[in-house]
Amino acid sequence: MTFTEQLAAAWQKNNSLLCVGLDPDPAKFPAHLKGRDDAIFEFCTAIVDATADLACSFKPQIAYFAARRAEDQLEALIAHIHEKHPGIPVILDAKRGDIGSTAEQYAVEAFERFRADAVTVNPYMGRDSVEPYLAFPDKGVILLCRTSNAGGSDLQFLDVGGEKLYERVARLAAEKWNTTGQIGLVVGATFPAEIARVREITGDMPLLVPGIGAQGGDIEATVNAGKTAKTTGLMINSSRAILYAGKDENYGEAARCAALETRDAINRYR
């Protein structure tokens, strides 16, 4: 099954457009996990097990693992998701971008080492920097387009011959690069007008939309701007608001409540 087929099945099965982001910060872990060698794995698997039936995808952010020499725990976490919750795609958030020969190694890292179903990629270096990921036909490649941070406008809003740079990225992706149907785009929930514009340019392309929850993006505006005719098409990511909803041993339950509330809030506007 390809990433897009898996995602479509998960949207249906869990009646959910919610992507649960896995950004484990040990400084925010409950006290009973502190000091444990496997704390990151333990923390994340409890969140995954508590929310898997409410999510359309999981998105581990690689920096949170690499910064603590915990790539082995990331491997084990993704293996756990595939084994215990088959059918829920894993997007490795790595935001890679480099010349083709190096991109080939990043693709092997994401898809063979970590066994992710999709990876986030920075399109700044152009088509040949994206192609090595597309060589894995079952995998998804999610390109940064209009990011959720304020500074995203520094470059993404530049005029490039009558359109903004993020619009050019969306158009290149939809009209030229997506010959195999593997590409998706990142568009921040903090910019609903741009979500609508990207949807207009890209048809039914899956959009990863971070920025609700901790970054304050509006769920109603996000869903209205980004949903497709089938009322899907979105992976609306929330990380901190779910991960750290609880502070003690019951953090899994608290995460489940936050995920349920978010999934249902999203569904109200579909």
Ligand X SMILES: O=C(O)c1cc(=O)[nH]c(=O)n1[C@@H]1O[C@H](COP(=O)(O)O)[C@@H](O)[C@H]1O
Among 4, 9, 199, 202, which Cα is nearest to 118's?
4
108 in helix, strand or coil?
helix
212 in helix, strand or coil?
strand
Smallest gap, in angstroms, from Cβ of residue 2 to ligand X?
A: 20
Among 83, 109, 81, 82, which Cα is nearest to 95's?
109
H helices, E strands: number in the chain: 12, 8
Q: Which stretch binds ligand X (CB under 6 A): 68-76, 132-140, 198-206, 231-239?
A: 231-239
Sheet with strand 234-238: strands edge to edge: 57-60, 18-22, 234-238, 207-210, 183-187, 140-146, 118-121, 91-96
Q: Which stretch binds ligand X (CB under 6 A): 26-34, 45-53, 162-170, 207-215?
A: 207-215
End-to-end Cα spacing for the chain: 26
262 binds ligand X (CB under 6 A): no
Q: Which stretch binds ligand X (CB under 6 A): 199-207, 211-219, 226-234, 246-254?
A: 211-219
194 binds ligand X (CB under 6 A): no
Select which of 13, 34, 59, 95 is catalytic: 95
226 binds ligand X (CB under 6 A): no
- Residue span 116-155 as binding mask against ligand X, x where in contact by CB under 6 A, dash where not: ----x--------------------------xx-------
Smallest gap, in angstroms, from Cβ of residue 230 to ligand X?
A: 23
21 binds ligand X (CB under 6 A): yes
- Residue 95 annotated among the catalytic residues of the structure: yes
Question: Please, what sign has the CA dihedral across residues 127, 178, 116, 1?
Answer: negative
Q: Which stretch binds ligand X (CB under 6 A): 42-50, 128-136, 195-203, 208-216?
A: 208-216
Distance CA 105, CA 84 (A): 28
From 61, 73, 156, 232, residue interacting with ligand X (rule: CB under 6 A): 61
109 Cα distance to chain centroid: 17
Q: Which residues bind ligand X (CB under 6 A)?
A: 21, 23, 61, 93, 120, 147-148, 186, 188, 210-211, 213-215, 237-241
Q: What residues act catalytically?
A: 95
